[in-house]
Structure 1
Amino acid sequence: MTDIADILPYISLAFLFIVGLGIGASTTVDDFKVSFAKPKAVSIGFLSQYLFMPVTSFILASAFQVRTEIAVGIVLIGCSPGGSTSNLFSYWSNGDVALSVTMSFLSTMAAFALMPFWIWVFVKKALKSDVKIDWATLIVSLLLIVFPTCIGLAIRKYNTQRKIAGKFIWKWVEILSSMLGVIFLTASVAGAIVSYQDFFQEAGYSIWITAVIMQPIGCSFGYIVSKLLGMSPKETRTISLETGIQNFSIALAVVQLSFAADEEAQKYALMFPACYGFLYLFWSAILVVFFKYYLAPRDYKGLDNDEEELSSSQKVEFPIALGNDEEEGEEATKKELETGP
């Protein structure tokens, strides 16, 4: 590995902080209220994220009979909370952005208890691994999403008058966080490619097959289950993305620091997160294009004009990606609350 590998965990942690800040600034308390008025959708997404994905990761690791260190990396990805970028992907896919933000926040909060639980069940008990997980890094990684999200929410709530260059401060936080988030995510993936290029060559077919199918399996499960349980097309796309997209930055940082004393074990434990991260943007781009240009145009097919107009009125704006004036964004939120979820 190159020297770049030594700073990758810190790049990943910086990415988590920046994106968390952007999520908070792009969200209002009313957005959470709208989403919690849909407990069925939130519950389906939560169970898909924290029951189906961890179990699936362990089944895949067991089916291919990979060595213990590699299995640890697979399980860590499987029990990680939803990726923060899923909120932006949900917007691009014409999904329910308020629901996406709520699910990302809830999965991150739940990760404080459920990540250690699944690691104990699968890594310690099932795999009988004696690896010492760097719990401090895990907790810090999660806090670096929760704290800045709360800060962003506070900025959005209390910044109602002060503007800079015609834009509210929270708007600038959104814009800068979005830009820096993309930069840090790109740097993480590029750094992983440069640092772990040997891994890509040495990773066997079992690792690559698992890395290729994990995200599509998760997204497909979330989509099919939510569809069968009667969720709307927007909610179905959102739950699909939230289920399949895992926050590999957390797994990367935890593995890097947990195996710091054993370079050989670290090498194998990092193989899957590195391969998964390499394919992450590829699969996400395909899913966004498929959802946006194939499924989304069919949302209101067969509805009469009044139903279509009502459904269109329930859209939630996503300020990071839109160029609307702030006052228009606030009016859209008020309209959403008045019409109901």
Structure 2
Amino acid sequence: MAFGRVWLSISMFLLAAALQWSSVNAVVRAEDTEPELPVVAFYPETLDLITEGKTVQVMWYTNITDNAETVDAKMAKWREAEVADFGEPIQGTPQLEDANATDILSMTDISYYGYVNVTAKFVGFNTLLVKLYNEMNETVAEGEMAMTVKLKSDNLITIYTYVVGVTTAVVYFLMGMTIDLQVVKGIAKRPVGPAVGIFCQYIMMPLISFGLGLALYSGDSFEERLMRLGMFLSGCCPGGGASNMWTHLLGGSLDLSCMMTCVSTFVSFASVPLWVLTLGPVIMSDADFVIPYIDITITVISLIIPCGVGILLQAKFPGSKMVRFCSKMMSPFCAMNLILIFTFGTYCYLYIFTLFDWRTLVAGIALPTLGYTAGSIFAALFRMDTARIIAVGVETGVQNYTIALVILILTVSSPAGEIATALPGAFMLFTPLPLLILLFIRKSYLWYRNRHSDKLSPSTGLKDVPGKTGVSKGVAHHQSDVEKKGSGIDNLAAELSDKV
């Protein structure tokens, strides 16, 4: 139980660090009650939620008595927006027809004004800076205006959501046709696997994500807190549908994986609000968190209905050609769906790459990898076989990051919500990388083993080779069980467990 004590110590340390960090940041900083008014003012006062690609005109004005010969306008940052063009200072009072500009129309002491055209480029925050110079090229007035840019609506994301929803439903149907009902009943009678998975997913992962967020984004700026929030919410999500596909491809227990996904999604109705409303305000105290119960419910329904239909058909037509066909289609369809998510999904959310830096890359790989490690260690501590260790590890590391995306979009106003989605997006992209490496290693091992056994079979035969008897019997026993039942997991991990 040494590993268990180590992980418990780490959990307590992270929790203590969270409480200490929250108490330190609870100090209220005094704000200036009388801010100095800018010499150069703007109409409109701010540029709020300008759509990407749109160009807007801003008027600046001032009441200085000095001569203003030239003007310079630029953006504080290059990524979100750029100044398309601007004119020279105009002496006098502007003639505006906008009814909302009565405060400017009533000002008769305006000495200079001018116009600046600003083009929104990318979602985020920026500031327009304007300076006026006299004939000696000395600054006589300056001012700044805040600007926010919102994401351009894209129907392609909506299409991607529906396509992935349909393909995932088909995968769940195939899972229902493939899983071994006797194994599921055995797991339900002794639910050690689901219990270990729930502990790793809803105790270890939120604490790991909170601690990792503090380590990588330790600053107190608004952007740093946004990234910490995205990291933490990602760690609080339930298991995702991709976990079942990866478990199947890696030779894990599909029966245990499906049961864990179902149980963890039900538990998320209580666990997600508990963590979000407890440590969420510690990260961002001014946010009014919204829990997407509707999206969680849709996830539950999309899991239960297709899988339930598959289970009913398997029970009604055991050993039929349809069941055997679905069992054979499971692996290629899982692979096809994962390729679709990785390629089409990457293209639809291409804007997230612009928000990436080295910390995003480290976080995107570290969080799921730590989840795989924690789940595998705890499953091994409870003496589970290889197939179940794979299922628990994958289920812990692969999460439904869509829940985190929805919470961020509903809780944090645009464009901050879109910026915070960079980390859930990074997790979606980088979660498969360690699993792809494991899948390559596993396929290479199986290819080498099959090739080696093919060379031995014609001359000596496996039955006559000392030390190989258990392997041949185990494989034969596994094959006969599949033929006898006509159902069960299309799971190559059974061969590995028989060899062990």
TM-score by structure 1 length? 0.75
The structural deviation recorded for 1:210 is 0.8
Matched, 1:41 2:193: yes
The structural deviation recorded for 1:279 is 1.4
The structural deviation recorded for 1:213 is 0.7
Listed one character per residue, the Cα deviations across residues 72-127 of structure 1 (whole Å, up to 9, x for unaligned) are: 43233222222333334334433333322322232223223322332222324554
Structure 1 equivalent of residue 366 of structure 2: 213
Q: Is 1:108–1:145's contact at 8 Å kept on the other side of the alignment? A: no
Matched, 1:147 2:305: yes
Q: In the aligned structure 2, how far is the partner of 1:332 from the partner of 1:150?
A: 15
Q: In the aligned structure 1, how far is the partner of 2:339 from the partner of 2:376?
A: 27
Structure 1 equivalent of residue 27 of structure 2: none
Matches within 5 A, 1:232-243: 232-243=385-396
Q: Which has the higher strand share?
A: 2
Q: In the aligned structure 1, how far is the partner of 2:341 from the partner of 2:249?
A: 22
Q: In the aligned structure 2, how far is the partner of 1:275 from the partner of 1:132?
A: 22
Structure 2 equivalent of residue 26 of structure 1: 178
Give, as a single letter, the amino acid of the residue that structure 2 aligns with 1:258: L
Matched, 1:330 2:486: yes
Alignment CA distance shift 1:232-1:171 (3 Å): closer
Give, as a single letter, the amino acid of the residue that structure 1 aligns with 2:353: F
The structural deviation recorded for 1:51 is 1.3
Q: Is 1:90–1:238's contact at 8 Å kept on the other side of the alignment? A: yes
Structure 2 equivalent of residue 94 of structure 1: 251
23-32 or 207-216, larger mean C-alpha shift: 23-32
Q: In the aligned structure 2, how far is the partner of 1:325 from the partner of 1:42?
A: 25
The structural deviation recorded for 1:211 is 0.6
Give, as a single letter, the amino acid of the residue that structure 2 aligns with 1:116: P
Matched, 1:119 2:279: no
* Unaligned stretches of 5+ residues in structure 1: 299-303, 318-323, 337-341
Q: Is 1:19–1:145's contact at 8 Å kept on the other side of the alignment? A: no
TM-score by structure 2 length? 0.53
Alignment CA distance shift 1:132-1:87 (3 Å): closer
Structure 2 equivalent of residue 156 of structure 1: 314
Q: In the aligned structure 2, how far is the partner of 1:120 from the partner of 1:130?
A: 9
Structure 2 equivalent of residue 134 of structure 1: 292
Structure 2 equivalent of residue 199 of structure 1: 352
Identity %: 22
RMSD: 3.9
Matched, 1:281 2:439: no
Q: Is 2:248–2:331's contact at 8 Å kept on the other side of the alignment? A: no
Structure 2 equivalent of residue 267 of structure 1: 418
Structure 2 equivalent of residue 83 of structure 1: 240
Structure 1 equivalent of residue 115 of structure 2: none
Q: In the aligned structure 1, how far is the partner of 2:408 from the partner of 2:228?
A: 15
Higher relative contact order (CA 8 A, sep 6+): 1
Q: Which has the higher helix share?
A: 1
What is the total number of aligned residue pairs between the two structures?
316
Select 1:110's aligned residue among 253, 267, 271. 267
Q: Is 1:218–1:243's contact at 8 Å kept on the other side of the alignment? A: yes
